[in-house]
Amino acid sequence: MGRERKIFRKAFVVIGDIVCIFLGYIAAYRLRFGTLGGGSEIFPPSFLVLLFFGYLAVYYFSDLYSFPLHYRGAALFFQIALATVFAAAFISLLKYIFFLFPIGRGILLIANVLIVLFIFGWRHLGHAAFNILIKPQPVMIVGAGAAASAIGKIIEDRPQEFLLSGYIEDPAASVGSGAAVDGKKILGSAGDLQKIIAQREIDLIILSESAPQSELLTQGLLQAQLKAIEVVGFAEMYERLTGKISISHIDDENWFIKTKGFNVANNHVINRLKRSIDFLLAAIALIISLPAWPFIALLIRLDSKGPIFYSQERIGEKESIFSLYKFRSMIKGAEEVEPLWARENDPRITHVGRLLRRFHLDEIPQLWNILRGEMSLVGPRPERPEFVETLKKDIPYYSLRHFVKPGLSGWAQINYPYAASLADSQEKLEYDLYYISHMSLLLDANIILRTARNLLVGRPGRAKSASA
């Protein structure tokens, strides 16, 4: 239910944006010329398609379709205004490339001022309307162990989406309805399930790993499902809420084997298609980026002594070792003693290196790794053999991330950019395992788009896990 609400909200907002953009240009034409006559000539269908595509694409890359829990009016207004300026420039460029009828500067200026006002008003009213019309989803958790506490904490941190009514305890528990145990509000036992659902209008039931096993509970849950109440296991709900797999609550490695993604990874047809897409896009990106290579090389050479390129052993698919290529971003001999995690304000990083890393330009030569088939555009980031050996000992299931080819970008990178500790590496692994278990070309496309958006908009990060 929560996922459907998010999809509905995004679709609702996008449709409203399209209407605002259209009204902005129609109103600008009316204000400029005092009539709508001839409007069909200056706004032909082909131009409108280009218009909507241009604005929505820029708005997406400006992060206007991810809705924060806390609404800040002033920040949103400036975000919309800045995105609209870039969208107007983008549209002006596109209409000349495609030889569409040029829009005068007067209409362009008036239209975009109106679009900013219309879309801000639309978002403001839409936010208020969603808060009034769409109430938080009432949730109940069956079980009261560590997993229940973990999922309960995540739900309580999302008050606009969920309302946690409480927990169902073991059937033999002697606590009464509304009692508190270990800080948890216990609503009752399995025998009270139907009464609690009716009283609290429960819409979603989550089964934690400590859910009591009884025929009474099973019958109660079946009745709930017959009433269109969603019943979800802990693992699935945790994935929905966090976009990662909690390895702390998995005690059977066979669980991974049964998941869809690990089967998809062995599908030869999908693998060939993914490889073809990787090769084509990497070749195009390599050709487009080639003119910048001499300038990057010159900056590196002028900034510090040492080679322009840097190669380093990394662990690839099935734990094979390959040489990863990068533009050098650290001083020469940065790791002659021992490999170290890169950290924030790392003194080994050169001035030019900081610029290259900020925009990930140091990773452009990895397009060659993709062409050679050692990497993919999307996948877990390849780590160094020295780090992998340590991480395999300390983090359960770490080797499973090598089930697929490493990627230039990945699900972990767009959600948790950098790792500089064992805890960071475990969290990134949980994102990597989520990617593998949900592998699809659609998910790859989503990751590529979000990577591009992060590069353009930027996002705060931690210390970088890659070495020189």
Express each pLDDT in 397-413 by its tens digit.
Answer: 899 899 899 999 999 99
Neighbours of 13 (CB within 10 A): 20
Q: Which of 149-163, 275-289, 312-326 has the lowest mean pLDDT?
A: 149-163
**Conformation bin of residue 317: beta by default, left when phi > 0, alpha when psi is -120 to 50:** beta
Q: Which residues contact 120 (CB under 8 A, 6 or more apart)?
A: 76, 77, 80
| Spatial distance between the Cα atoms of 28 and 22, rounded to a whole number of angstroms | 10
Q: Model pTM?
A: 0.79
Reported as a single tens digit per residue, the pLDDT across 326-360 is 999 888 766 655 666 665 567 788 889 888 888 88
Identify the architecture of domain 137-242 in CATH. 3-Layer(aba) Sandwich (3.40)
Domain with CATH 3.40.50.720 in the chain: 137-242
| Single-letter amino acid code for the residue at 445 | A
The reported pLDDT for the residue numbered 410 is 93
Question: Could you read off the pLDDT of 203-247 as tens digits, one per residue?
Answer: 899 988 766 677 888 888 898 888 889 999 888 899 989 999 988
Q: How far is it, in rounded angstroms, from Cα 442 to Cα 260?
A: 14
Q: Which helix (H) or strand (E) holds 309?
A: strand 309-315
Q: Encoding tokens for residue 129? A: 């309307």
Mean pLDDT in residue range 317-331: 92
Which region, left, alpha or beta, applies to residue 379 given φ > 0 means left and ψ of -120 to 50 means alpha?
left
pLDDT at residue 343, rounded to an integer: 58
Helices (DSSP H) in 34-167: which residue ranges?
39-42, 45-61, 73-97, 105-133, 146-156
What 3-state DSSP class applies to 111?
helix
Structure tokens at 442: 């659609």
At 291 the pLDDT is 94
> Which pLDDT belongs to residue 460?
43
